[in-house]
């Protein structure tokens, strides 16, 4: 039973540690996603701020180079100009600037993309994830973030909408946009690999820590189990020694020592509560002749059989059947004179019905017993010895009048 309890506690401990590890792993992954989302939000805010600066200035003129050609999708007057010293300049609006920044971002880990449902530039069309995000913006969602895949690689993706303001209408009025409407958004993608190293290190640390805690807990449980097992073994040994001290080794009935302690305790209880206490003295008829005729081994067997038969009728904690000495037994019970007489007769018949052969008996071919009964209600001027004396005299009467019967005496 203790082993099963130990195993149950061990399994529960492992489950508890596993659940805690699972929760912390989940929290760590969610925290990593929050870090990536926050980083993407900051990146998005910086892009929007730069675009706003550009829009407030009506765009920015830059020299035309191989990598910066005039924007064919920008249909505004004075898109291209020439300075007095002959330099050719082209107007960079917020969208063109965002695209150029995005192309420069290919050299870093973070990528971003300006997109919308109706972009002027075909390359600004949304991918599937961005299209779903744009639909979410139309339904009132402020931003979208999740883990997605781009060209087979995992990314933390974030996207927020771009609203039309007055400066945007310069380029986008012909598309039918109105001020305040959502005309698209900017998606920011951060490679998962840039954060996975942190996550993996954290998960490895959590796994090792939880494994150590689990092992320590199991060791504590094991030591507790072993200590309890050792204590229980000592208690069992002590209990066995105590039982041996109060049990008759032959019949396994309580011995004279236990009888003395029991009698003192029960006499005080009966005296305090004023209820009757009764006693039966029992003697196996012609037991000496049994031993002389069949030998001491058979005599011991006879004592064990009689003790086993008598013991069957005693289940109440307030009753006692004990070996008094030799072939004598005694009964102490909390009952009145009538009840003890009934019990005595039951015991006599039970032994007789054993049909244990007694070839040397002078009254029966089987083993029989004689019994002496006495009852008393304890009082301050009486002692248990008076009850014992009366029961002993009643036993003498039973023997003197033929044996295999119950004698009775008053105290």
Active site residues: 327
> Do residues 397 and 407 touch, judged by C-beta distance below 8 A?
yes
> Do residues 71 and 62 touch, judged by C-beta distance below 8 A?
no
- Please work out, in degrees rounded to the nearest 5, the angle formed at the alpha carbon of residue 123 by the alpha carbons of 122 and 128: 100
Tokens 């008759």 correspond to 248
**Token pair for residue 191?**
């490679």
- How many CB atoms are located within 10 Å of the residue 127 CB? 14
> Do residues 110 and 188 touch, judged by C-beta distance below 8 A?
yes
Please, which residues have CB within 8 angstroms of residue 170's CB and are 6 or more apart in sequence?
58, 76, 93
CA dist., res. 373 & res. 397, Å (int):
10
- Specify the DSSP element, H or E, that contains 363: none
CA dist., res. 115 & res. 112, Å (int):
10
CA dist., res. 155 & res. 150, Å (int):
7
């Amino acid at each position: 039973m203790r082993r099963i309890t130990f195993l149950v506690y061990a399994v529960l401990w492992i489950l508890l540690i596993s659940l805690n590890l699972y929760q912390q792993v989940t929290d760590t992954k969610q925290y990593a996603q929050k870090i990536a989302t926050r980083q993407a939000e900051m990146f998005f805010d910086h892009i929007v701020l730069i675009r706003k600066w550009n829009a407030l200035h009506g765009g920015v003129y830059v020299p035309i180079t191989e990598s910066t050609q005039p924007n064919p999708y920008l249909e505004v007057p004075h898109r291209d100009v020439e300075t007095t010293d002959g330099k050719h300049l082209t107007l960079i609006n917020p969208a063109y600037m965002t695209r150029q920044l995005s192309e420069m971002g290919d050299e870093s880990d973070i990528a971003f993309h300006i997109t919308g449902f109706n972009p002027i530039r075909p390359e600004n069309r949304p991918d599937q994830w961005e299209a779903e995000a744009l639909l979410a913006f139309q339904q009132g969602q402020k931003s979208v973030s999740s883990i997605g895949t781009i060209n087979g690689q995992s990314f933390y993706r974030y996207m927020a909408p771009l609203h039309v303001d007055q400066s945007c209408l310069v380029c986008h009025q012909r598309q039918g946009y109105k001020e305040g409407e959502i005309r698209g958004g900017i998606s920011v993608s951060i490679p998962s690999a840039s954060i996975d190293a942190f996550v993996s290190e954290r998960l490895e640390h959590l796994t090792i820590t939880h494994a150590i805690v689990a092992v320590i807990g199991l060791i504590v449980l094991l030591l507790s189990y072993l200590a309890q097992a050792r204590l229980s073994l000592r208690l069992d040994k002590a209990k066995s020694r105590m039982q041996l001290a109060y049990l008759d080794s032959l019949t396994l009935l309580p011995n004279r020592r236990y009888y003395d302690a029991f009698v003192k305790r029960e006499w005080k209880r009966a005296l305090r509560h004023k209820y009757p206490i009764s006693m039966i003295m029992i003697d196996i008829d012609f037991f000496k002749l049994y031993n002389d005729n069949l030998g001491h081994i058979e005599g011991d067997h006879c004592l064990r059989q009689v003790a086993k038969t008598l013991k069957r009728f005693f289940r109440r904690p307030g009753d006692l059947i004990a070996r008094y000495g030799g072939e004598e037994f005694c009964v102490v019970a909390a009952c009145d004179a009538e009840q003890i007489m009934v019990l005595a007769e039951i015991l006599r018949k039970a032994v007789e019905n054993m049909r244990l052969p007694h070839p040397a008996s002078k009254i029966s071919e089987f083993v029989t017993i004689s019994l002496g009964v006495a009852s008393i209600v304890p009082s301050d001027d009486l002692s248990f010895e008076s009850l014992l004396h009366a029961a002993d005299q009643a036993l003498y009467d039973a023997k003197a009048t033929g044996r295999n019967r119950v004698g009775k005496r008053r105290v």
